[in-house]
Amino acid sequence: MRVLLTGAAGSIGTVLAAGLQPHHELRGLDLREPENAFAAGAVVGDCADPDVAAQAVAGMDAVVHLAGVPTESDLPTILHSHVETTAALLDAMVQSGVRRMVYASSNHAVGMHPRTQRLGVDVAMRPDTFYGVGKVAAEALLSLYADRYGISSVAMRIGSFLEAPQTRRHLATWLSHDDCVRMVSAALTADLDGYYPVYGISANRDAWWDLEPGRAIGYVPHDDAAAFDAPDPGPDDAIEGARVGGPYATAAYDRHPFEGVGP
């Protein structure tokens, strides 16, 4: 497949570029020139710009959309970074006849749910931050474009993308680098219609979230956070483990929607 990888210079994008290159012809898109070489070249620009999105999507078979501010910010920044980019790319896909998007959503779209041993993908959206709100809105766009234009999509509600777990919470939420590549590979080639959310975690013994929707589209994770020495207990373990979003669901992330905006 010819695959556009947005956020190609980021932490997940760099890992995916290396993991997907042997199997797909990739084009990179980022605000800065990616370090990786891409067989279909690289586009530098903001994918919220319709012209940039159209240039990047042209000739592709699928889009893996990772671009976006990776942490909490003010609401205008979040909406531009996560919602406007997704809308521009989806619109470009309609114009170019591209039928599959794999989207890097987040557990923070449902972060205010209390911790449970098997939280399903069908629960109500309960974002824990403006970052989570951006992911909810982007997933809503995936649903709209699936129903209106027939673009199939997989929304990966990614947990903790790390080389190794660092806190007790990560024993449940960890996503290994190799499993991330496996998940995106499955999402690109799965036989599915419509908008389809999955949880982006490894096969963790202590997982809180249901992995069966991912397995149903061919994502078979191999790694388990329990294979590492358990992180030392920390003073915030109970708070971070109380809700799906961990620290994002706490008062530490209270902020005003337009904080820092303006001259």
Mind listing the pLDDT tens digit for each residue in 96-152? 999 999 999 999 999 999 998 899 999 999 999 999 999 999 999 999 999 999 999
Catalytic residue among 131, 196, 248, 253: 131
Q: What is the DSSP string of 76-114?
A: HHHIIIIIIHHHHHHHHHHHHT--EEEEEEEGGGGTTSB
CA–CA separation, 239 and 169 (whole Å)? 10
Q: What is the pLDDT of residue 236?
A: 83
Q: Find the helix packing angle between 85-96 and 50-57, rounded to 10°.
A: 50
Neighbouring residues of 140: CB distance < 8 A, sequence distance ≥ 6: none
How does pLDDT run across 239-248, given as a tens digit for each residue?
889 999 999 9
Cβ atoms 153, 101 nearer than 8 A: yes
Asked, for residue 183, whether it belongs to a domain, the answer is yes
Do the domain assignments include residue 260? no
Query: Over the stretch 145-189, which tens digit does the pLDDT of each residue have?
Result: 999 999 999 999 999 999 999 999 999 999 999 999 999 999 999
Is the pLDDT reported for residue 229 higher than 60? yes
How high does pLDDT run on average in the chain? 96
Domain of 26, CATH number, reads 3.40.50.720
The predicted pLDDT at position 85 comes to 98
DSSP letter (8 states) at residue 233? P
Q: What angle do CA 131, 53, 43 make, to 5 degrees?
A: 100
Give the side-chain half-sphere CA count within 13 A for 174: 28
Please check whether residue 262 lies inside any domain of the structure: no
136 within a domain of the structure (yes/no): yes
Strands in 152-158's sheet, in edge-to-edge order, are 42-44, 25-30, 2-6, 62-65, 100-106, 152-158, 195-200
pLDDT digits (tens, 9 = 90+) for 23-58: 999 999 999 998 888 999 999 999 999 999 999 999
Using the predicted structure, report yes or no on whether residue 5 has a pLDDT greater than 90: yes
Which one has a higher pLDDT value, 30 or 262? 30
Q: Inform me whether the pLDDT recorded for 221 exceeds 90.
A: yes
* Position 62 pLDDT exceeds 60: yes
Domain count, the chain: 1
CA 248, CA 240: separation in Å to the nearest integer? 8
* Alpha carbon distances (Å) from 199 to 20, 160, 174, 175: 20, 11, 11, 10
Say if residue 207's pLDDT is above 80: yes
DSSP string, 177-231: HHHHHHHHHHHHH----SEEEEEE----TT--B--HHHHHTT------GGGSPPP
For 72, 135, 167, 193, the CA distances from 76, given in Å and listed in that order, are 11, 13, 31, 32
Model pTM score = 0.96
How much is the pLDDT for 30?
Answer: 97
pLDDT in tens, 69-103: 999 999 999 999 999 999 999 999 999 999 999 99
Read off the DSSP letter of residue 253: G
The whole domain housing 184 covers: 2-253
Domain assignment present for 263? no
131 in catalytic set: yes
Is 194 inside a domain boundary?
yes
Q: What is the distance between the alpha carbons of residues 127 and 181, in angstroms, rounded to a whole number?
A: 26
Q: Mean of the pLDDT values across residues 237-261? A: 92
What pLDDT score does 262 carry?
A: 65
